[in-house]
Homo-oligomer: A and B are copies of this chain.
Amino acid sequence: MSQTISQTMHAVGLKAYLPIADENSLLDITLPVPTVQNRDLLVKVKAISVNPVDTKVRSPKSKVEENYRVLGWDAVGTVVAAGSEVELFNVGDEVYYAGDITRPGSNSQFQLIDERIAGRKPQSLSNAEAAALPLTGITAAEGLFERLEISNENSSNKTLLIIGAAGGVGSIAIQLAKQISGLKIIATASRPESAEWCRSLGADIVVNHQQDLVKEIRSHGIYYVDYIFCLNTTARHWTTMADLIQPQGKICSIVEPEANIDLNLLKSKSASFSWEFMFTRSMYKTHDMIEQHNILNYIADLIESKKIKTSLNKVLSPINAANLRIAHAELEAGNTIGKIVLTDW
């Protein structure tokens, strides 16, 4: 089965960096619809979400490029064509995915995606609710379960600190960590409304990372934490993390520090530090790329059994350059709670 697909499509792109307040920073453009091959799906995009990676990839102040760059690494849509080696999906399936940073993004009406990094869209969610989940969900799941190696087997009666827990990744991370029985979750947030958001998602303790985190956490009778998931300025929290981590404990971060780091602070504790970068698998074509398919399906299961909920907080419509500029501007201002999604072309 296949559908009639037009030759050209709407998209939003750029050829050079401009501040987001400039109306040319993101442009409505028309591009040819790409052709499927191998394990690629061609997806008709229904909803997209924005993430800090979008503003980062938009930002390099390089000279004007020849071709448009299409951003966007979060989408929900319908499979409209499949490459000859596709085996996980059929035309007509609804999918959701974050995608591959080395390929054109999801800010376009049609997008190619390797089936191994796409999952089944949670059936109980609207397109907007589902679009909030893939990038943050994969990041949270890889960070917690693969880098920190948190599991039901290893982590009962242990303590996880999530620094900067009210944002996109944190909102899913709290809920995924909550699936581990006996794991205590300490979330940090800096404003009353973000603290309340973390509590509503399942955090056992919420502390303020604008205060002295060591003191705050120890005031709750917790001296060391077994795991730290840092979603907020690694460099600023480095000494605190070194103080708080349990001997032989594990730290994972998703935020690059701007300067070099004093790794020796972790030495006496034989502690470990891992990066979580959700594009590693697709960028390096690792043999276990399909784990992202599995993670997305696992998250769909949790949604459908009402164990976790979407972190969608705001919807803009339609998908166009003007609304994407609004979304980028909000991300750049910081303080986002949950996710911003755009729907429909």
Which residues does A use to contact B, with CB under 8 Å? 142, 146-147, 234, 247-248, 256-257, 259-264, 266-277, 279-281, 283-284, 286, 288
Contacts and interface: CB of A to CB of B under 8 A. Distances in A.
A259 B259 CA distance: 12
A220 B193 CA distance: 57
Nearest to A277: B270
Given A248-B280, A281-B247, A142 B262 contact: no
Contacts of A268: 277, 279-280, 283
Contact of A270 (B256, B266, B274): B274
A279 B268 CA distance: 8
Q: Top 5 A-B pairs ranked by shortest CB distance?
A: A260-B260, A272-B274, A247-B284, A270-B280, A267-B275
Contact of A271 (B263, B266, B269, B275): B275
A264 B257 contact: yes
Contact of A260 (B261, B279, B281, B284): B261
B270 A142 contact: yes
A239 B288 CA distance: 25
A241 to B, nearest CB: 12
Given A256-B263, A257-B263, 14 more contacts: A146-B248, A234-B263, A247-B280, A248-B288, A256-B264, A259-B260, A263-B273, A266-B275, A268-B277, A269-B280, A270-B275, A270-B277, A270-B280, A271-B274
A281 B270 CA distance: 9
A275 B261 CA distance: 14
A232 to B, nearest CB: 16
Contact of A276 (B270, B274, B275): B270
A138 B71 CA distance: 49
A151 to B, nearest CB: 13
Contact of A147 (B262, B264, B272, B284): B272
Contacts of A263: 234, 256-257, 260-261, 263, 273, 275
A274 B247 CA distance: 12
Contacts of A273: 263, 272-274
A237 to B, nearest CB: 13
B272 A267 contact: no
Nearest to A279: B268
15 contacts: A248-B281, A256-B264, A259-B260, A260-B261, A261-B261, A263-B263, A263-B273, A266-B275, A268-B277, A268-B279, A270-B274, A270-B275, A272-B272, A272-B275, A273-B274
Contacts of A277: 267-270
A153 to B, nearest CB: 14
A121 B10 CA distance: 74
A259 to B, nearest CB: 7
